[in-house]
Amino acid sequence: DVKVTQSSRYLVKRTGEKVFLECVQDMDHENMFWYRQDPGLGLRLIYFSYDVKMKEKGDIPEGYSVSREKKERFSLILESASTNQTSMYLCASWNSETQYFGPGTRLLVL
């Protein structure tokens, strides 16, 4: 059974703080993704990675960066959190048939 875990379910941060969201998958998948989900907008792709140390921008990368030092771990970084980054963040990994999602991190930036 594929498992994708995210380090936090809920986070509250202040404007300007640096925020790290961690994601780990246990199925040796090469492809990993970060999305944010907002009401009425569905899931929007922030960044993805095809392999260790590789990253590609998604549709809305501004204000975010990522790190993939190990195959199983993909981190999303908010360099200086802003209130418009308040959202649900979802990590996923891909096995050639579908993407498997983690439980999500609900981030509130005050």
Partner 1 sequence: DQQVKQNSPSLSVQEGRISILNCDYTNSMFDYFLWYKKYPAEGPTFLISISSIKDKNEDGRFTVFLNKSAKHLSLHIVPSQPGDSAVYFCAASARTDYKLSFGAGTTVTVRA
User: Nearer Cβ to partner 1, position 3 or 18?
Assistant: 3
Three-state DSSP state, 59: coil
List contacts with partner 1 (CB under 8 A): 4, 9, 31, 33, 35, 40-45, 48, 50, 58, 90, 92, 94, 97-104, 106
- Closest by CA to 79, choosing from 43, 42, 109, is 109
CB of 73 to partner 1, least distance (A): 17
Strands 56-57, 64-70: parallel, antiparallel or unpaired by DSSP? unpaired
- Closest by CA to 41, choosing from 75, 8, 109, 90, is 90
Length of the chain: 110
User: Nearer Cβ to partner 1, position 58 or 63?
Assistant: 58
User: Nearer Cβ to partner 1, position 33 or 74?
Assistant: 33
> For residue 19, what are its two tokens?
């925020």
CB of 8 to partner 1, least distance (A): 13
User: Nearer Cβ to partner 1, position 6 or 85?
Assistant: 6
